[in-house]
Amino acid sequence: MSKKNPYADLIRDVCRFVEDHSDEALTLAELASRAAMSRFHFARTFKAVVGVTPKQYLASVRLSKLKNGLGTGVPIDRAAQDAGYGSTSRIYEQAASSLGMTPAQYRRAGEGVAISYASLPTPLGLMMIGATDRGICFVGFGDSSQALLLRLHAEYPKANIDPMREPYHADFRAWIAAISQHLAGESLRPDLPLDVAATAFQLRVWKYLQSIPPGDVQSYGEVAAAIGVPNGARAVAQACARNPAAVLIPCHRVIRGSGQLGGYRWGAARKRSLIDAERAAKARTPRDSAVRN
């Protein structure tokens, strides 16, 4: 169990400032000054508390505002200005990779985005992996390929979703092998490219979850406090429930404050098995356990 960072409240206030002024040209020096810290100390402390750098956090806030604007039908240039982007070209340069699609595609709920998928047996049951040309956008477990495919379509309702053609691309084969080895308890969490869209808050939660060492667990309240939202345990639980990439975003490492496992999108038994597999892998590779995955 982790202790609350002593600077968590201060960093939380800076996060609120960023959210309120994301349309301005904020600098690291300005944010550090608000926290009464040197730029170096502020940058390190901010990442320790939030899980991402100040620059990444500002980008996530702007992306969230852009998505909200596009979702309400605001013209792209107006949505870009309101979100803090200098021009629409900067959206395509900076935001497209985070959206997993262009702004126009996002407005159409992913229409035109190509997703390939494949299913394979694992120690935890059938697993489906979905991927775009930028990375993995979906990892889920279920009892049938049909049920998992329905979930994939629910995540990306207007994307073009088709089976991965065989022979699989070399990168896709490597991703499958890395996840399979992890599920078998043979390796720690694989560091694979993700292509998932997220709100600013979801990004904070998901990034922080990736910093929890394999085999360790924290409560929803501890995660909320660590990212500067001490009363946000329920919101953390909701962000975990919306995680589209099981294992790679390790929401299974978050439990109830009582010590009970709590809910898990893919079933409590799988949550227990994932934790046990990570602890087994950690026990076999003690040196690796000290490496932040």
Residue 192 in this model has a pLDDT that exceeds 70: yes
pTM above 0.95, yes or no: no
Q: How does residue 217 score in pLDDT terms, banded at 50, 70 and 90?
A: very high
Residue 254 buriedness (CB in 10 A; 0-12 / 13-18 / 19+): buried
Residue 235 in this model has a pLDDT that exceeds 80: yes
Instruction: Judge contact between 130 and 138, C-beta under 8 A.
Output: yes
**DSSP secondary-structure letter at 157?**
T
Residue 147 in this model has a pLDDT that exceeds 80: yes
SS (H, E, C) 196-265: CCCCHHHHHHHHHHCCCCCCCCEEHHHHHHHCCCCCCHHHHHHHHHCCCECCCCCHHHEECCCCCCCCCC
Selection from 13, 19, 102 nearest residue 64 by Cα: 19
CA atoms within 13 A on the CB side of 277: 23
Pairing mode of beta strands 160-163, 136-142: unpaired
The residue type of 106 is Y
- The string of pLDDT tens digits covering residues 77-97 is 666 666 666 554 455 445 444
Pairing mode of beta strands 125-131, 114-122: antiparallel
CA distance 33 to 161: 48
Per-residue pLDDT, 62 = 77
Catalytic residue list: 251
Selection from 26, 100, 115 nearest residue 67 by Cα: 100
Q: What is the mean pLDDT of the chain?
A: 80
What residue ranges define each of the domains in the chain, with the CATH number in brackets?
A: 8-107 (1.10.10.60), 109-293 (1.10.10.10)
The two structure tokens encoding residue 210: 């990736």
